[in-house]
Amino acid sequence: MPNSGTEARQGILLRGVTLWFTGLPSSGKSSIARLCERRFKKWGLPAELLDGDVVRTHLSKDLGFSREDRDANIKRIGFICHLLTKHGVIALASFVSPYREARDANRCLIGNFVEVYVSAPVEECEKRDVKGLYKKARAGEIKGFTGVDDPYEAPLKPDVICRTESETPEESAEKVIQALEKLGYLKTKGL
């Protein structure tokens, strides 16, 4: 696809905001979040990416994958995003966060919250799964895996829907940037 002109822009952050990327494992959340983060940093905007694997290693290594532990993990991340957002940073949270109630609680806590639903059919996610987690879950080696034997509750009214089966990561990232502009968090202009 030809360059949509996004590189010839600069951004002005009007207020801190949390971008909450949610979706099935391997749906493309982290890829889109990283592209957004790169663009923000190129524009000189304060942005911090919080990724599931990194947070699980450093902040939530004491937690398992029961519903209670997953909710506790999402609450911890929500608190960090709340602090970042309050101090004028773009917090990019890329987490499966399978339960609607936990995501909604973070929306209430943070306030400036943009929910990005990264939608892809489970079959597509399985094809992309470089870690082989779906295969292990289907073989019974992993229990409680979201999308296989644990539910994923899709957002009812997300602010942005990225359909990664039919969009490139760059198209999805552009969609997120446009939503931030429309919602009044970001202003972009040509150089």
**Helix segments in 16-153, DSSP class H:** 29-42, 52-58, 67-86, 100-110, 122-128, 133-138
Please give the Cα distance from 90 to 55 (Å, whole number).
Answer: 17
Confidence of residue 8 (pLDDT cuts 50, 70, 90): low
Active site residue 97: yes
Number of domains in the chain: 1
Q: What is the CATH number of the domain that holds 143?
A: 3.40.50.300
Whether 136 is covered by a domain: the verdict is yes
Whether 40 is covered by a domain: the verdict is yes
Q: Which of 178, 154, 185 is nearest to 27 (CA)?
A: 154
pLDDT at residue 163 greater than cutoff 90: yes
Whether 2 is covered by a domain: the verdict is no
Q: Which of 16-25, 45-54, 129-138, 180-189 has the highest mean pLDDT?
A: 16-25
Whether 64 is covered by a domain: the verdict is yes
Domain range for 89: 11-190
Whole-model pTM? 0.89
Instruction: Supply angle C-alpha 97, 102, 105, rounded to 5.
Output: 135
Alpha-carbon separation of residue 142 from 8, 77, 95, 113, 162 (angstroms): 45, 24, 18, 32, 28
Whether 5 is covered by a domain: the verdict is no
Whether 37 is covered by a domain: the verdict is yes
Mean pLDDT on 181-191: 81
Q: What are 25-57's pLDDT values in tens digits?
A: 999 999 999 999 999 999 999 999 998 777 877
* pLDDT at site 104: 95
Whether 3 is covered by a domain: the verdict is no
Q: Which of 97, 119, 166, 172 is catalytic?
A: 97
Identify whether the C-beta of residue 87 lies closer than 8 Å to the C-beta of residue 16.
yes
Whether 4 is covered by a domain: the verdict is no
Structure tokens at 37: 């983060």
